[in-house]
Amino acid sequence: MNSCKLLASALLLGLGVLAGCSGEKPAKPVSFQKDVLPILKSSCAECHTAPNGEGYQKSGLAVGSYAELMKGTKMGPVVIPGQSLNSSLNRLIEGRAGVDPSIQMPHGKVKLPAEQLAVIRAWVDQGAKDN
């Protein structure tokens, strides 16, 4: 029994050392107002603005403010705070929407640059705060 405890302690210590040596720094806090909203306004608001944007009329999604984005679409929320892998917003802008490439956003335009995708992903993973 003692050997099991010793092995478990060694494994935990080893994992702690590996985590400390990973070289990854904690993610810089992402601001919705300063970092995310400008991306949404420049790349998404053309279609996703209430009441006349084509994307707004089809989906009900507007991106002009935190409240509008968090309200989501006619079918429900597009952001799940803390879960970029499961958030529809991230799936759509990252091209992970499924088998239908026509619903990748921005629709009919060039995909967002990797840096902008990373900012939005980090914001969602950090809790999608109104900051």
Write the pLDDT tens digit of every residue in 83-130.
999 999 999 999 987 767 677 898 888 899 999 999 999 999 999 999
Q: Which residues contact 45 (CB under 8 A, 6 or more apart)?
A: 53, 63, 64
| CA 8 to each of CA 2, 4, 69, 75: distance values in angstroms, whole numbers, following the listed order | 10, 6, 45, 47
Q: Is 76 helix (H, G, I), strand (E, B) or coil?
A: strand
pTM above 0.85, yes or no: no
Residue corresponding to tokens 């998404």: 44
Write the pLDDT tens digit of every residue in 18-68.
333 333 444 799 999 999 999 999 999 999 999 999 999 999 999 999 999
